Structure 1
């Protein structure tokens, strides 16, 4: 492909979105940005990334945070903006990459090389996957799915006008339960190749 390619992957918890993003990064030979973004930012700012990870893609606590003259005391908000800025700089430099979450479908919207996906799944299939990956019971899996998706949705909808998971905000939304992980990766790869030629 000529020119820049930025693949943005939004995902429901348990849908395999992260694994799909990893596979797409491999197939196109691109770097993947996810929670490792914080390691890059921490290196740049010479701080410990383990401290930052606690607040990664977490909604701002409105009771404990305030903004004075444009400066927020919310760690969640400050880390979110650090990540948005980092991704924008990478995009402005012409780099091609895959990014998971981080409101990338909205924050990088002006870049012509952006292709955005949202990965969802059937509740039972997602629960099975969470049980297998995390070694938890079905009830725990359902609880994790509910909590993680609530956090992602609240985080996303705080920083973006478009709603998390609304198909109108993405180029392509797909239910990974129907084709499985490998089938979904192949379908998205074909879509990307068709869309970039």
Structure 2
């Protein structure tokens, strides 16, 4: 691929956004950054990555953190900033990739070849998907949806001016419940290729 292409995928919990990002990465022959981003950063900085996942894409704890002279003791905030710096460096080096979440539609704004997507879904369809994927009851699936989306929204809105999920912040917002995962990917692939 000649030109740089970065696909940023924001998503509601249960919408299939991660699966959609995986398939877009496969179809375009790009590396995918999601949870594996933590391992990449830990390896690069030579720090253990065990235990970092629980702080990934979580809002900063205001009660237990302080910032003094620009330095924060918040694990969540430091981890978020490491991820932002890592993605900015990859983009500045001209690399092409797909990234899930991590405020990427905002922190990479202005990057040539950036295409931003937000995947949402109908609550009933998302709850059903969560039940299948995680093997939980419908009640638990709805609780998980509410909790995870609150975490993502809080995380995003702490680091970004634009609000999480607001269609004005993305090139494409799509409801994966309407056509299913495969056809949603088909539509996004067509739109992205048209943008290229």
Q: CA RMSD in A?
A: 0.6
Residue 187 of structure 2 aligns with which residue? Answer: 187
Count of aligned pairs between the two proteins: 196
Unmatched runs of 5 consecutive residues or more in structure 2: none
Per-residue CA deviation, residues 22-71 of structure 1 (Å, 9 max, x unaligned), is: 00000000000001000000001111112211210000000000000000
Residue 94 of structure 2 aligns with which residue? Answer: 94
Matched, 1:158 2:158: yes
Q: Give SS of 1:54's match.
A: helix
Residue 18 of structure 2 aligns with which residue? Answer: 18
For 1:1-197, what aligned pairs fall within 5 Å after superposition? 2-196=2-196
Q: Give SS of 2:79's match.
A: helix
In structure 1, distance between residues paired with 2:132 and 2:51 = 28
Per-residue CA deviation, residues 56-99 of structure 1 (Å, 9 max, x unaligned), is: 00000000000000000000000000000000000000000000
In structure 2, distance between residues paired with 1:4 and 1:112 = 7
In structure 2, distance between residues paired with 1:110 and 1:194 = 19
In structure 2, distance between residues paired with 1:4 and 1:135 = 39
In structure 2, distance between residues paired with 1:74 and 1:120 = 30
- Report the TM-score when normalising by structure 2: 0.99
In structure 1, distance between residues paired with 2:46 and 2:84 = 18
Q: How far apart are residue 110 of structure 1 and its match? A: 1.3
